[in-house]
Amino acid sequence: MRWQTRLSQRCALWLVVLHGALTWSAMALRVDQFPLTWAPMYSTHVDTGEAEHRKVFKDKRHVEERGWQGIRRDGATEWIRRRDVNVPMRSMWRLYYQRSWGQPPAKEKQKNSGDWSLDRWVRGLPPGAPIYSADWERRLLVSVNKTLQRAPEDADFIVRLVAMRTVMRFDGESLAPLGRSQETAEIAWRRAWSEDFRE
Amino acid sequence: MSEPGPLSRFLFSGGSPERLAATRFVLGLGLVPFFAMQYGSLFDFEAFGLAWYYTDPVWYFDALGIRRHVPWLAMCGVPVLLGALVAFALGFRTRLAACVILLLVLLLKGARDSVAGDIHHRELIPFQVLLFFALSRCGDVYSLDAQRGSRAPPLTTWEASWPIRASELYVAAFYIWSGLAKLRVSGMAWLEGGGGMQSLLLQRAVRFGLGSDGEPAGSNLGLWLAHYPDALALLALGVLAMELGFPLVLLLRRSWTRALFLAGVTLFHLANFVLMDVQFVFLPVVFAVFFDPAPLFRHRLHRLPVPLS
């Protein structure tokens, strides 16, 4: 099969003009849906003025050998490792060390930051109002249970997920290590979520 | 007949069939390592294991009702994508190859990003550039398609120019949007703390913890640089200036000045990769659209046929 379609010069011009109008409009309106974007690279940085940096250690061994601690509906516990849910390590970092702690993807932070109002005005939102939000706890529990093919009425349905991490604190000025601590996150299933739990 | 406007003059001049073919060749082969890097993580699944239920599917997966990852399908898609890039480079079923590439980028990007809900922007420029090339007659000249006895008429200058020029415009827009986004989101706070570079460098350096000697398991170089906030602020200013000033590259007439500017941008992506694992490292292959690579391939190009007139 060979497609021999030829664009006329006028058609090529219109195509480029329309493409430009579409992509620049997406930029103005803060559309961030592939293949359109308004923030192609890192853009979020607001100085929080905190006296120290808190940095999370990522423990590959823990994620591979233990992972989340899942508490089932029948009260039993099990470890849910990366390979139990069959996700790549790069995604597991984000699921375990970010979503488990309610930390959204960078895109959500970018969409909701700033108070420039054209994009909000188009959506009928006041300046500064969040444009995007998602219940990451629910999404994570739904993903884990649906991947493991468990329904809310099953005895082995995961009703709680527990994640652990090590956080290192550094001095905000000298970056000298100040100490490390263990933190635990726990997300729990809510009864209301069972109503529309379906494939 | 009216005089063409400035956009028409820009779009429909500056190219040649040789340049279009050579750019197609460079893009096709140059994007092989780029996409191999982007989708390498898709091989980190067990091919016939459980199908992960996407945490936040990309919009087109959501619209199509694609809710689960099919590991073996994504794994098959990667070599097909790389093969299609080679076919595109050689001009074999060029338009079909370009369409296959575009569809597979949508599929593989969706599969990768839907797992945890992150949206990455690294594929944007290659996608849009390949879209322009797919709509052009880049496969009608110095290609295996032409060798197979195409009866297509010879390319005119405007036909050889517009896909390259449209790509130049998009690349310039991509960088200026990056600068504008920094101003919209962070404002001048972007410059404080080096645009978050200090925090990011520190995070990347210690993300795998500290060794028994107290040194970070990540990049020591990143940790060293994080100690110089003034230098980082200067770098952040440089990045912002580079992004906002990128469209000036369209006005640079001399190849060496363009090369110098784009070498600086390439160095920026390389440093981001080494220090912060930001995976734009192979993206600069798309800067081929700002040059005429034909002289590099002149002897080889003329062994390939042009369309029969």
| Partner-chain contact A139 B189, CB within 8 Å | no
CA distance A66 to chain B (A): 17
Q: Which run of H or E residues covers position A166?
A: strand A158-171
User: How far apart, in whole angstroms, are the C-alpha atoms of residue B254 and residue A136?
Assistant: 51
Distance, in Å, from the CA atom of B250 to the CA atom of B260, rounded to the nearest integer, reads 13
The residue written with tokens 């909000």 in the block is A120
How far apart (Å, rounded) are the C-alpha atoms in residues B48 and B71? Answer: 7
H-helix or E-strand containing A179? Answer: strand A177-188
Closest approach of chain B CAs to the CA of A51, in angstroms? 13
Q: How far apart are CA B281 and CA B270, in angstroms?
A: 5
Local confidence band at A114 (pLDDT 50, 70, 90 cut-offs): low
Instruction: For B86-144, write each residue's pLDDT tens digit.
Output: 999 999 999 999 999 999 999 999 999 999 998 899 999 999 999 999 999 999 999 99
Structure tokens at A38: 């308004």
Q: Is B277 on the interface with A (CB under 8 A)?
A: no
Residue of A nearest to B276 (CA): A42
User: For chain B, percent helix, then strand, then coil, each to nearest 5?
Assistant: 70, 0, 30
Determine the distance in angstroms separating the CA of B309 from the nearest CA of chain A, rounded to an integer. Answer: 15
Q: Report whether pLDDT(A35) > 50.
A: yes
Alpha-carbon Rg for chain A in angstroms: 23
Q: What angle do CA B115, B121, B127 make, to 5 degrees?
A: 105
Which residue of chain A is at minimal alpha-carbon distance from B190? A45
Are the beta carbons of A39 and B181 separated by less than 8 Å?
yes
At A75-106, the pLDDT tens digits run: 999 999 999 999 999 999 999 999 999 888 88
Task: Compute the half-sphere exposure of residue B243: CA atoms within 13 Å on the CB side of its CA.
Answer: 23
Residue ranges covered by each domain of chain B:
18-148+292-304
- Indicate the pTM of the whole model: 0.92
| Interface contact flag, B52 A143, Cβ < 8 Å | yes
Which chain A residues touch B269 with a CB distance below 8 Å?
Answer: none
Give CA torsion, residues B56, B57, B59, B60, to 10 deg.
180
Is some CB atom of chain A closer than 8 A to the CB atom of B4?
Answer: no
Distance between B51 CA and the closest CA of chain A, angstroms: 6
This model of the complex carries an ipTM of 0.91
The pLDDT value recorded for residue B309 is 38
Distances (CA, A) of B249 to A156, B253, B255, B256, B278: 60, 8, 10, 11, 24
More confident site: B65 or A172: B65
Find, among B114, B119, B86, the residue nearest to B100 by Cα: B86
Gap between the Cα atoms of B173 and B165, Å rounded: 12
CA–CA min distance A3, chain B (Å): 7
Q: Which B residues in the span 153-192 are in contact with A, Cβ-Cβ below 8 Å?
A: 158-159, 162, 165-166, 169-170, 173-175, 177-178, 180-182, 184-186, 189-190, 192
Compute how many other C-beta atoms are within 10 angstroms of the C-beta atom of residue A123.
11
**Domain coordinates of chain A in residue numbers?**
8-41, 49-194
Both tokens of B38, joined, read: 């982007």
Amino acid B184: pLDDT: 84
**Which residues of chain B make contact with A107, given a CB cutoff of 8 A?**
117-119
H helix runs in A33-101, sequence order: 60-65, 82-85, 89-97
Range in A73-77, A168-172, B69-73 with the lowest mean pLDDT: A168-172
Question: Do the Cβ atoms of A71 and B221 come closer than 8 Å?
Answer: no
Tokens of A81: 């490792």
Side-chain half-sphere of A15: how many Cα atoms within 13 Å? Answer: 20
Interface contacts (A, B; CB < 8 Å):
230
Q: Name residue A70's beta-bridge partners.
A: A78, A161
CA angle A160, A165, A167 (to 5 degrees): 145
B96 touching A (Cβ < 8 Å): yes
